[in-house]
Amino acid sequence: MGIIRDHPELALFLCLAVGYLLGKLRVGPITLGGICGTLIVSLLLGTRHVSVGDDVKTIFFAIFIFALGYMAGPQFFANLNRRGLRYGVLSFIELVTVLVIAYLIAQLFDLDIGTASGILAGAATESAVVGTATESIGKLSGLTPHQISEYQGHVATAYTVCYLFGLITIVLFTSQILPILMRINLADASRELWAKMRGDVPALESDEREALPSTVGRTYLVTHADGRTVGEIEEASGQRVTVERVKRGGKILTPDPGLRLTLSDLLLVVGRRGPTIEAGRHIGPETGSVPGLDSPLATRQISLTDKATTGKTVDQLQHDHPEFLRDGVYVTDVVRGDQDLPAAAETVLRRGDVLTLVGARSGLDKLTKKLGSVVKNSSADFIYIGFGIALGSLLGQVIVRIGDIPLSLGTGGGCLVSGLIFGWFRNRSQTFGAFPPQAASTLKDLGLAVFIACTGLDSGPQAWPLIKQYGALLPVAGILMVLIPACLSLFVGLKLLKLDKPLLIGAIAGQQCSTPAITAITQVSKSSVPLIGYTITYTLSNFLLPLTGPILVGVLGSR
């Protein structure tokens, strides 16, 4: 144990490794997850008085919260519209309800600030609240250094217990109980909604591909089309196919619309399967593969930067841009932030969404110029990221007093706000400030894991006495703070907002930012449809819930 005390870096990474290993253990649909596992291991190791410097904790929390805001920023601002705010009602219910319940529990049971904040963070299964609350406690006036250390330790301990019970509750409630309360079979309801959105096109699993792809290329020998131009061939199909290549003898010709075809020319025609086959009747017999004539279909990821695309469905986008149909280009994936959405006809698009387009290269070039820009995330722009975190830290130092209550965003809240703004601003053009999604996700997870490990190590000595003191209060509070806002959202979503039931179930998981819950929901539903509701509330709650830490600490600190 002496070597671990003398080398805190060893303790830190040991907590990460063993914690994430523990987090992989599964009981039915429930897994603890790496963050909760790390906190449990670090609390246990912390009882041996192993600690890491506070500066390490602060730096990694700033990295985590900025990356979180950066990833959520584009869709957070995009959801500030009528449809987004409609779902946002559920996030607001979550925000108000957990704050009120945490305050009432603190008053009824005379809890200290740290324990009340830990209950709030754990029951809401929002790890970021641990950081914002811990930081706010450190800035309270009138507390001794010993009290600050003790209360900050209580945050981590109460969070661990409440998180465990809150996690189990939200996963079981959304994936198992809600479908029963709604009197639906979630898989059937999701399939029906998908069919309605896609026009009865069946959904594919992640490891499946279409046996008969929608866009195809065929080669034809010119017989019937002798003397006709390339433009006439394309017009005869209603502009639903394109002639990509023309081979005459040993030469490859540019397929300009005015190029007149001659007998025995070879044509590569690309488009939707039906029109491409039909075009062959006007050109001549189909041939096998022709060397030098093949033009493979291209795949391209583009970010929607055209403001006119916001609020349109995939179907409307394809209707407004005939290049989709004419050039044989189709949307295969829609990514919003770090969430994959179904490329359904009625999936509503937002500025900043990343679309995967597949089709002929000429069609892709035309659509890219009209809709946005090619996603280029080969390396992170550390100039942009560094300034963003620095400005967020400065913003967090501002203190606003409402009466006798001092409120401050702290480094965590400040970096969250700056992350939202910097992420949104980058998303407007995608030409600067690159922060590749995989890199952002890795830094986000690493930053939170290191912060949680540091917090657990510091809090280890206070953990067991706090659990003995409050007994059943912590798990009961964790369960109630999940069920009460979820039930309120169920009533409001069904009776007032009239949301589709699979989308509402996903939105309730999203309002609590519960990735394990949406994972269990998609497993039960055998569909990604609930993700449509989840992404909106998840984005809004990711911003709102971390702010509850400073608010609760400020209110309780004024008592």
pTM score > 0.75 for this model?
no
Tokens, residue 542: 């990711």
Listed in sequence order, the DSSP H helices in 269-330 are 273-283, 314-320, 323-326
Which residue carries 């009528």 as its tokens? Answer: 82
How does pLDDT run along the chain (559 residues), one tens digit per residue?
667 777 878 888 888 999 889 888 776 656 667 777 887 888 788 777 777 877 887 888 889 878 877 887 776 676 666 666 788 899 899 999 999 999 999 888 888 888 888 888 887 767 778 878 888 888 787 788 888 888 888 887 888 778 777 877 888 888 888 998 998 888 888 888 877 765 444 544 444 455 556 667 888 999 989 999 988 888 887 767 888 889 898 888 888 889 999 998 999 888 777 888 888 888 999 987 677 666 667 788 888 877 787 778 888 888 888 777 666 677 878 877 666 777 777 788 877 788 888 876 777 888 888 888 777 666 788 899 999 999 988 887 777 766 655 566 667 678 878 888 898 888 776 667 778 878 888 888 888 788 878 877 876 666 667 677 777 788 888 888 899 999 999 999 998 988 889 989 989 988 887 777 877 787 788 777 787 788 778 877 877 888 888 888 888 876 5
Distinct helix (H) and strand (E) counts, the chain:
23, 13
DSSP state of 313: B
Query: Beta partners for 298?
Result: 359
Which residue carries 């957990």 as its tokens? Answer: 98
Residue among 551, 546, 497, 487 at smallest CA distance from 131:
546
**How much is the CA Rg of the chain, to the nearest whole Å?**
28
Query: Beta partners for 402?
Result: 405
CA distance 285 to 287: 6
Residue among 260, 255, 267, 265 at smallest CA distance from 220:
267
Q: Report whether 42 contacts 455 (CB < 8 A).
A: yes
Which residue carries 């603190």 as its tokens? Answer: 106
Describe the crossing of helices 501-511 and 473-491 by its angle, rounded to 10 degrees: 140
